[in-house]
């Protein structure tokens, strides 16, 4: 009898170890679906989101709402790695479960022909979480970035080291004829490689612009298409 109880205890412990928990849940910039809608509704009920911004799309307004809630509840701050990402601590504080958040789907890598490796997904997730961060010359933290500082920080958060300057990144990278998600795209805004961003797919890239801060831009626009130098992979 004692042996039977012992075996049942082991089985129960094993089940608990493999059961999904809220710590596995993350809702972030670019996600869509019921989990985002629930997040938006809950933030609105707590006064951190507009009731008109409940559309199931995690965009800039939802990002600001999450950041507002995190600051108010001291969950994260602009210096935190997950500022603007509704991770385990934020979801738990809001009373949201892992099961609802696990159904979210990201559109950041759902592009035909684009790389969908876990490495690039992590890089894109980190990059998107910094949308709205101001531009600061020489900046390398979420308090403010310049273009290469933003790339360096984003890659470092995913275990990859990069050179510090745009020119050094250009020299260190391997040239690719067509960028995949997570590759670096370079531009000549003054003589030589002088601006860098991270390719998102769909002809879009995320970067720290001098006049915009961290934002997403279209490489097909007249300005960026004329300044485009090429793509490289680190």
Q: Taking a C-beta distance cutoff of 8 angstroms, is the pair 187, 152 a contact? A: no
Residue 116 to residue 182: CA distance in whole angstroms: 9
Contact of 176 with 220, CB cutoff 8 Å: no
Q: Is 11 left (phi over 0), alpha (psi -120 to 50) or beta?
A: alpha
Please, is 49 exposed, middle or buried when counting C-beta atoms within 10 Å of its C-beta (0-12, 13-18, 19+)?
buried
Q: Give 217-232 as a 3 state SS string.
A: EECCCHHHHHHEEEEE
**Is 207 annotated in the active site?**
yes
Residue carrying structure tokens 């170890």: 17
What distance in Å separates the CA atoms of residue 112 and residue 122, rounded to the nearest whole number?
18
73 labelled catalytic: no
Q: Could you tell me the two tokens for 31? A: 């996600």
Q: Is 147 annotated in the active site?
A: yes
- How far apart CA 40 and CA 35 sit, in angstroms, is 9
29, 39, 66, 147: the active-site residue:
147
Q: Of these residues, 195, 200, 209, 224, which one is catalytic?
A: 195
Task: Considering the candidates 130, 207, 213, 231, report the single residue annotated as catalytic.
Answer: 207
Q: Which residues are catalytic?
A: 147, 195, 207
């Amino acid at each position: 009898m004692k042996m039977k109880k012992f075996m049942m205890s082991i089985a129960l412990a094993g089940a608990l170890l493999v059961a999904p928990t809220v710590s596995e849940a993350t809702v972030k910039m670019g996600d869509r679906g019921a989990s985002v809608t629930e997040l938006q509704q809950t933030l609105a009920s707590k006064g951190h989101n507009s009731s008109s911004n409940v559309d199931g799309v995690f965009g800039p307004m939802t990002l600001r709402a999450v950041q507002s809630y995190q600051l108010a509840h001291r969950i994260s701050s602009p210096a935190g790695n997950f500022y603007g990402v509704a991770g385990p601590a934020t979801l738990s504080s809001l009373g949201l479960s892992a099961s609802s958040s696990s159904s979210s789907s990201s559109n950041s890598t759902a592009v035909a022909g684009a790389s969908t490796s876990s490495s690039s997904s992590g890089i894109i997730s980190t990059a998107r979480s910094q949308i709205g961060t101001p531009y600061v010359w020489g900046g390398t933290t979420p308090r403010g970035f310049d273009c290469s500082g933003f790339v360096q920080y984003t890659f470092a958060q995913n275990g990859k080291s990069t050179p510090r300057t745009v020119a050094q990144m250009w020299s260190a990278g391997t040239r690719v004829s067509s960028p995949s998600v997570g590759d670096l795209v370079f531009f000549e805004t003054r003589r030589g490689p002088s601006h860098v961003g991270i390719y998102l797919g769909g002809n879009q890239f995320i970067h720290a612009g001098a006049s915009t801060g961290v934002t997403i831009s279209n490489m097909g626009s007249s300005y960026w298409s004329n300044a485009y130098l090429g793509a490289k992979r680190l």
